[in-house]
């Protein structure tokens, strides 16, 4: 495994970790800390302006480990599916403008009033297939991120690496995986599916699973504060040949978002070097 203890270039800071920082603050703070990669969410890039965001990131000498996020394909009717596809094309444009290594794709859940999970799965496949030619044309790899099963109904009906790997098999070149330890750590098939993923892994994310978890979305832990064996999962990921940054992404409304962001950034770096 790579030695994270001395190389800050192997750390990427996801903008969700440092709420409420703007893109300007994220870029300045990471550059000041000697961190060379960021993973911004669309809201702060759009707020800064797409062209300005790209120039700002490049001027600071930062790379973009991934761009968060697009997808959310299932809809109740064809009009809703067209809206989703149009928004995903805009996300591809944004990812290309800021030089993102990949665009993270969240499947989306069941359409309102629906109980048709297989139908939602088909819509995700078809949505990715419709978007893929545009993404290829613009040089933006699509990184499918399976989310924990607790999000199946409302956020993501792709919940396992096995399902995400199947989609990659079906869709071919230009589609890969975003592996987030928070979402996949529980899976008994994880070692086999990471090995199967191989070179498809485009980005790797870490935080920790707290016990108890008080909020299903907004109570994620700093690496080292929970029960995930992060070192073992990283070994699996790096055994595939993955050599990109490791993205610290923490949603924490009751803890880390209440702290001063520079303090959070410092602790992210410490945990990245000692725990991840």
CATH of the domain at 207: 3.20.20.150
36 falls within a domain: yes
210 falls within a domain: yes
1 falls within a domain: no
3 falls within a domain: no
67 falls within a domain: yes
Indicate if the pLDDT at residue 6 is higher than 90: no
Residue 39: give the domain boundaries.
Answer: 8-274
pLDDT in tens, 55-104: 999 999 999 999 999 999 999 999 999 999 999 999 999 999 999 999 99
Instruction: Give the Cα separation of 95 and 30 in Å (integer).
Output: 19
Sign of the dihedral defined by the CA atoms of residues 223, 229, 235, 236, in that order: negative
List the alpha helices (DSSP H) in the chain: 23-33, 42-48, 50-59, 78-98, 117-137, 161-171, 181-184, 190-197, 230-239, 261-274
Q: What is the dihedral of CA 40, 41, 46, 51, to 10 degrees?
A: 30
2 falls within a domain: no
Q: Count how many domains the chain has.
A: 1
32 falls within a domain: yes
Instruction: Give the Cα separation of 52 and 150 in Å (integer).
Output: 37
170 falls within a domain: yes
pLDDT in tens, 212-251: 999 999 999 999 999 999 999 999 999 999 999 999 999 9
């Amino acid at each position: 495994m790579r030695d994270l203890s001395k190389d800050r270039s192997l750390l990427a800071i996801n903008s969700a970790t440092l709420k409420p920082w703007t893109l300007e603050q994220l870029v300045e703070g990471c550059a000041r800390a000697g961190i060379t990669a960021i993973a911004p969410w669309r809201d702060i890039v759009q707020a800064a302006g797409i062209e300005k965001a790209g120039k700002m990131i490049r001027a600071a000498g930062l790379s973009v480990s991934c761009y968060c996020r697009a997808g959310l394909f299932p809809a109740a009717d064809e009009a809703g599916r067209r809206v989703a596809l149009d928004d995903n094309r805009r996300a591809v444009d944004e990812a290309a403008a800021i030089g993102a290594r990949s665009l993270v794709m969240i499947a989306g859940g069941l359409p309102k009033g629906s109980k048709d999970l297989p139908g939602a799965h088909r819509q995700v496949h078809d949505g990715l297939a419709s978007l893929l030619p545009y993404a290829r044309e613009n040089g933006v790899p699509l990184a499918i991120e399976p989310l924990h099963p607790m999000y199946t109904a409302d956020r993501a009906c792709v919940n396992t690496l096995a399902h995400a790997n199947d989609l990659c098999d079906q869709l071919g070149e230009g589609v890969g995986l975003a592996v987030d330890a928070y979402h996949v750590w529980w899976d008994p098939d994880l070692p086999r599916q990471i090995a199967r993923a191989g070179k498809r892994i485009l980005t790797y994310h870490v935080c920790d699973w707290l016990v108890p978890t008080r909020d299903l979305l907004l109570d994620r832990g700093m690496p080292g504060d929970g029960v995930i064996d992060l070192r073992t999962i990283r070994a699996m990921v790096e055994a595939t040949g993955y050599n990109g940054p490791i993205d610290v992404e923490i949603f924490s409304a009751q803890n880390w978002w209440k702290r001063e962001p520079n303090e959070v950034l410092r602790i992210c770096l410490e945990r990245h070097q000692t725990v991840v």
